[in-house]
Structure 1
């Protein structure tokens, strides 16, 4: 169980910040019980006013709340509260206690404002019970209507104080969980160590005897009553009494919090069970039969052929360096026997030492039982007509805007992040597009008195070490920081729709267009691509932004009202019509007649207004899984080829509906696991394979761009742009600060960029590969094949490293030589040590380091090309070329053992794997 704290964390952290640095402040927030708070400045920055409005204030005053508050806050309590609030404290920072324990206690006391107000009826009941001990009888039944339809009843008697909570269970499952939860209280009291705990009773629908006479009680199945019976031992001692009051107030929140947690846990477990069952069913499928390669001996039995001078030259030139020092010379008799056996005419034609050829042959025979499978892949030499265009900015980014100033830098530019973005621009010729907004977009207000931003963050916790801000106030300079992005960057910026505050959206829009029409931003070559109005409106009815009846028609109507205001403001300032992003939903019903989806929004008139006509892009948010409940995802699941295709293909109806309107469809916010990623999954090297395949497959179903979501300290980031002091895995304090660094997923953007190229005319098509662990894509410029990518999803976390051999055939022609560049991953669950063609981006400045290592692969020996890919590895092939026809004829397949040279090539990879495990990592060429 998790104990909830009685103090208000926002009040506490705000006071700590303002003591450290007094500044302008105007913050309003609401807690779980609907209690409203307002923190603002008094007549100067060093004076803070804290106001509170609580629903049951008049009842609390009757029971002595003002006496309690005068006792706790004395001179801080203002005679007249702020309008629309019940009580106001005036805090003079200059006259507060000095730093140290006294100040900490002072801040903590103020953060207990709500607790102290609610303490009044409990203190009165404890006092009344003491008075009744001698004469008997009962005290007044005190009632606090502190929530809609929910009440706290407190009554003193001669030997006890009874506290009754009436609570509403919105769902039948909540009532069942609540009953089980409360039964645990009953069972726990049987333990010898806690038999002094209060007695707890629970009744459903029927109110306890103490309150049956109260008028207006609801007779409904969704009402439950929880009764606590406190005896003098629970409150006679003042210290114990204070603790009892603090804990008992929180019981209702405590109960419902754990009900929600339990439901989330059960849901995640059910999803896990279903996933495991699906794996069992998938394993039950009939596998495609594979034919093992013939061994060299059987091949020689069937085909004893001549090894000519050209083949000897091939072996000498391409393979001798690999094996010359590997084996002792075999006996001459063995050489003669071998060559007479397999090639009767060979010795007469040789012009290289037979011993060298014997070395190679022996090596081939030794390694025939290879661990690798062969996968044949047909690659078209010209682009199919269905091949979609792929932009250089395919992999773009979505930035959580609460810490935008950390990403970009205020006093000076954040050169580390700038360099990482510039790397991608250097490769593709196009800067990744940046969307700034997300969850904190709907918690943002604008103030002219703020320069950059002021944010309030909830407490860190193991599931969410770096939570989003609950309130962000920004000023004009906040948006002007876009001038520090790389030249050519196109930005989409979000404005607040969640709080239903049209003024906030207007002021933010005004500041955005003012920034992007300023000389600083224009001269930097940074442009405003679009404005996004609201983030994940389909969740508003669940997160408190709208009521529970909020539907797609409400969304369209309200969005249109906001959009008319936003576009009128932006169009006038820009001198042209600003483009808008529409939808930006967290999920989709994939239906035009129900739920939230692009289809239903279009059906209900999203595009029909003048503002709606300015929508150029429909944005969809999607995560492969969720870590919001704290249950972990599996790396093996994320790296499943079928998992990615199944998840993304479900959006095909949405994409078709959007494209029919002439609009582009983007994944405006996406990544591996929602709620910032899963530890040991989202932050490890295997995600580079997933991220690359995820983005490329998205293009095949019509997605124009993929914006991977990033936030300071998020586990699924491509990069961590600032120094971190807390662990991204569990929020614990790091022994030493962690400098800015990339995470393995960054290599997905690097590899994708090189595959797409920098011409701006790239097209891509997924290759048909029957192997469930291998994916491949071909890339074309104009209509000509230029590059191809192959991904081996076999998850390697130690032990024997599997591999596959790719044998490409080229439909419409042939290629005889190509270059292979590999993404080398030490382990799928490694968090560092990844290299791309021998180079690394794990540097202090974010720039690439090291020399490029590639391998030339040709068909010189057998009239075909073959190359290997080890588990958890990516191979990028390019520089296709032909060899002269003379050589093609000379290297007829009649002159060589089938598969001979390529067994040797596979063995180079095996030797390299052994070498890697020994730590030597020396380059072996073939």
Structure 2
């Protein structure tokens, strides 16, 4: 399968100090006549007589959208207010209207191809440790994660044998053929090896995309994808938002759904020709196509179905797919000339149960149609808003609640999966964002609200693959207090409760009284004596970062290594045996996941295998940047006397690797094996892969 070459064993620790170019430069400075003035810094608490320097507050970040500080005002309380006490009556033999069975991997991710080398890793030998930890949290709860690497940038992508400096992706930033300014790419097979190495650590399965910019089909990504990923290759997207091709200048005026079908048939013919020409992989991947991936922009899905799309391609279509965002911020982000949307005005539209229902209603017919054809129906790309989302909405606690309600509504409406998009530094909606490259040695990752939504969904659906979701239309269908029940084998196992309101006084918290059987259900009462509850909490729907899920958090901007921080807190609620009800309070704002039995909790937290314990986590074993790795606060550095050192020493050093002309010792295939004396970094070999990250 083209695995990594065998690596020579390395010692667990190095006691010999390596000679660094910057050290030689200091010697050069000290031997000048007269000697230049320098300041020597010792590692705190490691050098006798040295005192530890206090750390100044982090300098304000004023750059990328991913760290925008905009905080909106939470919407006012609704008028009239919903009832703050209401009952939820469940039956113990299933309920009419439940969804198809759903897997815990329902909520996955779509990573824009152009940023895969930032999110996943530098290359197949340098995998991002925080990414592994984040995915491990989900695998622990759901059994697996599905990820698409693609998007607009897949459409013009071209595989090449290699790129300079061990790169796996190279962007042509001089040519942006899309309105979102996503560049064409060159990429190497090492991107696929990196994905496969990730799957060797965790149960992660992948979607790729065949370029659709013209009909001179480039099948290398399908060929090598099948060869390298094997069973971890889930499917191959064919066409990304073809209903927008004409609008974006990628097809001539008049090109429509029938033309798209013809091109899909041309693609299938090319794959079959490849199989007939001796490809050992085409016979399999020709059955992995997914489409039509319309964005419901200039076409509706029905316009594609009406061409005979499914019947004509039936044996080659794995899933039927669409892409959809509830709104767009293109006018503000890319100056399209359209009216700029005011996020403050838009914010309330995300904070009602009707938001998810309205998004899904155009697809209910297609969802039923897919079932009639025996195909899964997948929302292949979505998030809070296209063109990067909205500041103050997409990165707020409100987005986490919106994401939960949206995902549960999708599951209830018989979608089989939904992928939430991940972009670069210039978007607001990322579930997770690595720090900018030039800050990766002293900043960690930023975890967005949509990742919290994914954690909740993984636990809500569990690992059995038999979870069925029903929208309870609770509290007389009130939009601010939605509730869902999750059944397994006709037995209620979990209840999901959302409160979209914000009220710090506590008077807008509501109490749901849950009963199972009894009453007028015609079934014996089976309300448990107690239930377990996990809460997703924040002070306001407009709060940014530091949300807690069962008492644990991923912190603020630049603070996460992918592992939850804090002690887990699971509440035990005693139920009323006299009334056969369990009283569950949900704060304003907040979310509660109620586990109706201990087995349901086990399935959602340890995969149902009884092993218990925490998710597998990964430690740093290598660093990709060994120059300038000492952590120095920006404000401290700005006021120090070291800012003129470059003037004194000529080519003393640079933040750009190799620009000083000095090269450190190198090991396997470009791996820089030098160690930073002041760093707490050990170099180990783990499963043949060197993991990339910073403690």
Same fold (TM over 0.5): yes
The equivalent residue for 2:268 is 563
Distance 2:119 2:216 in 1: 28
Matched, 1:476 2:189: yes
Distance 1:817 1:501 in 2: 61
Matched, 1:779 2:486: yes
* Deviation (angstroms), 1:449: 4.5
The equivalent residue for 1:399 is 111
* Deviation (angstroms), 1:379: 2.2
Indicate the structure with greater helix content: 1
Question: SS in structure 2 opposite 1:377?
Answer: strand
The equivalent residue for 1:810 is 516
Q: Report if the CA contact (8 A) 1:458-1:468 is conserved.
A: no
Match of 2:588 among 871, 875, 878: 871
Q: Number of aligned residue pairs: give it.
A: 486
The equivalent residue for 1:721 is 434
Q: Decide which moves more: 740-749 or 758-767.
A: 758-767
The equivalent residue for 2:322 is 620
Distance 1:673 1:680 in 2: 12
Q: Report if the CA contact (8 A) 1:599-1:657 is conserved.
A: no
The equivalent residue for 2:382 is 670
* Deviation (angstroms), 1:694: 0.4
Question: SS in structure 1 opposite 2:482?
Answer: strand
Distance 2:492 2:564 in 1: 27
The equivalent residue for 2:308 is 605
Q: State the TM-score, normalized to the length of structure 1.
A: 0.49
Evaluate the alpha carbon distance shift between residue 474 and residue 880 of structure 1 in structure 2; reply closer, same or farther with a 3 A threshold: closer
The equivalent residue for 1:794 is 501
Kindly report which structure 2 residues correspond to 1:267-278, keeping only aligned pairs within 5 A, or say none.
none
Distance 1:289 1:425 in 2: 37
CA deviation profile, 1:9-29 (whole Å, cap 9, x unmatched): xxxxxxxxxxxxxxxxxxxxx
The equivalent residue for 2:568 is 852
Question: SS in structure 1 opposite 2:246?
Answer: helix
Distance 1:555 1:532 in 2: 14
The equivalent residue for 1:596 is 299
Kindly report which structure 2 residues correspond to 1:222-261, keeping only aligned pairs within 5 A, or say none.
none
Q: Report if the CA contact (8 A) 2:215-2:267 is conserved.
A: no
Distance 1:570 1:527 in 2: 21
Matched, 1:454 2:170: yes
Kindly report which structure 2 residues correspond to 1:54-93, keeping only aligned pairs within 5 A, or say none.
none
CA deviation profile, 1:261-280 (whole Å, cap 9, x unmatched): xxxxxxxxxxxxxxxxxx9x
Distance 1:808 1:507 in 2: 54
* Deviation (angstroms), 1:559: 2.1
Distance 1:488 1:396 in 2: 13
Distance 1:397 1:766 in 2: 24
Evaluate the alpha carbon distance shift between residue 567 and residue 649 of structure 1 in structure 2; reply closer, same or farther with a 3 A threshold: farther
Evaluate the alpha carbon distance shift between residue 542 and residue 780 of structure 1 in structure 2; reply closer, same or farther with a 3 A threshold: same
Distance 2:324 2:174 in 1: 25
* Deviation (angstroms), 1:695: 0.5
The equivalent residue for 1:493 is 208
* Deviation (angstroms), 1:289: 9.4
* Deviation (angstroms), 1:653: 1.4
Evaluate the alpha carbon distance shift between residue 646 and residue 814 of structure 1 in structure 2; reply closer, same or farther with a 3 A threshold: same
Evaluate the alpha carbon distance shift between residue 471 and residue 288 of structure 1 in structure 2; reply closer, same or farther with a 3 A threshold: closer
* Deviation (angstroms), 1:604: 1.6
Distance 2:272 2:98 in 1: 35
The equivalent residue for 1:587 is 296
Give unpaired runs (5+ residues) of structure 1. Answer: 1-278, 291-372, 518-525, 589-594, 727-733, 882-926
* Deviation (angstroms), 1:801: 5.9
The equivalent residue for 2:685 is none
Matched, 1:632 2:342: yes
Kindly report which structure 2 residues correspond to 1:75-114, keeping only aligned pairs within 5 A, or say none.
none
CA deviation profile, 1:457-481 (whole Å, cap 9, x unmatched): 3799xxx9xx653221122222222
Q: Report if the CA contact (8 A) 1:669-1:707 is conserved.
A: yes
Q: Report if the CA contact (8 A) 1:510-1:570 is conserved.
A: no
* Deviation (angstroms), 1:791: 0.6
Q: Report if the CA contact (8 A) 2:175-2:183 is conserved.
A: no
* Deviation (angstroms), 1:723: 3.4
Evaluate the alpha carbon distance shift between residue 786 and residue 529 of structure 1 in structure 2; reply closer, same or farther with a 3 A threshold: same
Evaluate the alpha carbon distance shift between residue 795 and residue 649 of structure 1 in structure 2; reply closer, same or farther with a 3 A threshold: farther
Matched, 1:374 2:85: yes
The equivalent residue for 2:448 is 743
Q: Report if the CA contact (8 A) 1:723-1:737 is conserved.
A: no
* Deviation (angstroms), 1:799: 6.3
Distance 1:861 1:614 in 2: 55
Kindly report which structure 2 residues correspond to 1:514-529, keeping only aligned pairs within 5 A, or say none.
514-517=227-230, 527-529=232-234
The equivalent residue for 2:391 is 679
Question: SS in structure 1 opposite 2:309?
Answer: coil
CA RMSD of aligned residues (A): 3.0
Q: Report if the CA contact (8 A) 2:500-2:541 is conserved.
A: no
Evaluate the alpha carbon distance shift between residue 657 and residue 386 of structure 1 in structure 2; reply closer, same or farther with a 3 A threshold: same
Q: Report if the CA contact (8 A) 2:506-2:587 is conserved.
A: no
CA deviation profile, 1:122-174 (whole Å, cap 9, x unmatched): xxxxxxxxxxxxxxxxxxxxxxxxxxxxxxxxxxxxxxxxxxxxxxxxxxxxx
Kindly report which structure 2 residues correspond to 1:498-513, keeping only aligned pairs within 5 A, or say none.
499-503=213-217, 505-513=218-226
Distance 2:314 2:597 in 1: 48
* Deviation (angstroms), 1:484: 2.9
* Deviation (angstroms), 1:598: 3.3
Question: SS in structure 2 opposite 1:625?
Answer: coil
CA deviation profile, 1:799-842 (whole Å, cap 9, x unmatched): 66621111223233241322222111122111212111112233
Distance 1:425 1:669 in 2: 21
Distance 1:528 1:618 in 2: 17
Distance 2:588 2:110 in 1: 30
The equivalent residue for 1:421 is 135
Distance 1:635 1:738 in 2: 30
Evaluate the alpha carbon distance shift between residue 452 and residue 654 of structure 1 in structure 2; reply closer, same or farther with a 3 A threshold: same
* Deviation (angstroms), 1:551: 1.0
* Deviation (angstroms), 1:880: 4.3
Q: Report if the CA contact (8 A) 2:533-2:593 is conserved.
A: yes
Question: SS in structure 2 opposite 1:773?
Answer: coil
Distance 1:570 1:383 in 2: 47
The equivalent residue for 1:31 is none
Q: Report if the CA contact (8 A) 1:570-1:578 is conserved.
A: no
Point out the structure with max Rg over C-alpha. Answer: 1
Evaluate the alpha carbon distance shift between residue 529 and residue 545 of structure 1 in structure 2; reply closer, same or farther with a 3 A threshold: same
Matched, 1:699 2:411: yes
* Deviation (angstroms), 1:441: 1.2
